[in-house]
Amino acid sequence: MSADHGVSQPTRDRLAGRRAVITGGARGIGAAIARTFAEHGAHLALLDLRTEELDAIAADLGAVAVRADLADPADAIRGVQHAVDALGGVDILVNNAGLLRMAPLLDITVDDWDLTFDVNVRSMLLTTQVAARAMIAAGVDGTVINMASMGGKLGSPNQAHYAASKAAVIALTRVAAMELGVHGIRVNCICPGYVLTEMGAATRTDEMVATWSAKSPLGRLAQPADVANMALFLASDEASYCTGQAMNVSGGMVMH
């Protein structure tokens, strides 16, 4: 029996010719998304503070490299506008850059709280404003993908400021989807669970990985590619009727 039941099969050029701006694209999840998008034909502009790593991956992928400090409102706006101008427009914005600092609730300082929200939430508002205005002006049916976290739905001790900021990302995503849908712009967010990136590898023990893995019905943690594949789906035409969603990539650690 033929396996073809009339369902189109994904191709390797699902983003052919589309212009994507990715923040926090120098390493980890952002770099995995950049590589996946490039493999599917997207033209890329990557924003990050890590100049050496940013330049290396941009050169490897033929991407535009833009050094920007997203904690600085003016630099966030400048950086994304530069990226959009360099690409000649924008079809996809991936707000991946984020900050995680650990502290007990009673020890969180105002400065740490404010910086977490500046990078994790305010920067998304500003970059989305720049990209969405460009999409609207060009008549582009674009898409915005925000990186939230399962922490925004569940939270963990010592992460009150991080969890609160990621819950804010989920709320921002929903309202942006409501307001921008009339312009043909879809806005979704991704809620990863534990992801094995290079960040934190030096302090991550085998025992810690085993404990975290046990929280998932699948018995493992995520690789950056797991998150990148969700971003690819949301950026592609296959997700053309998805907007305002907070998509879990948590291996079942969160199911709502």
Read out DSSP for the chain? Answer: --S-SSPPPP-TTTTTT-EEEEET-SSHHHHHHHHHHHHTT-EEEEEES-HHHHHHHHHHHT-EEEE--TTSHHHHHHHHHHHHHHHTS-SEEEE---------GGG--HHHHHHHHIIIIIHHHHHHHHHHHHHHHHT---EEEEE--GGGTS--TT-HHHHHHHHHHHHHHHHHHHHHGGGT-EEEEEEE-SB--STTGGG--HHHHHHHHTTSTTSSPBPHHHHHHHHHHHHSGGGTT--S-EEEESTTS---
Please check the confidence at residue 6 and state whether its pLDDT lies above 50: no
For position 172, what pLDDT does the model report? 98
**What is this structure's pTM?**
0.93
For position 204, what pLDDT does the model report? 80
Per-domain residue ranges of the chain: 19-249
Q: Which pLDDT band, with edges at 50, 70 and 90, does 11 fall under? A: low
For position 202, what pLDDT does the model report? 66
Q: Which residues belong to the active site?
A: 162
Rounded mean pLDDT of 124-137? 98
**What class, spelled out in words, does domain 19-249 have in CATH?**
alpha beta
Which pLDDT tens digit goes with each residue over 49-67? 999 999 999 999 999 999 9
For position 5, what pLDDT does the model report? 47
Share of the chain above pLDDT 90, in %: 90
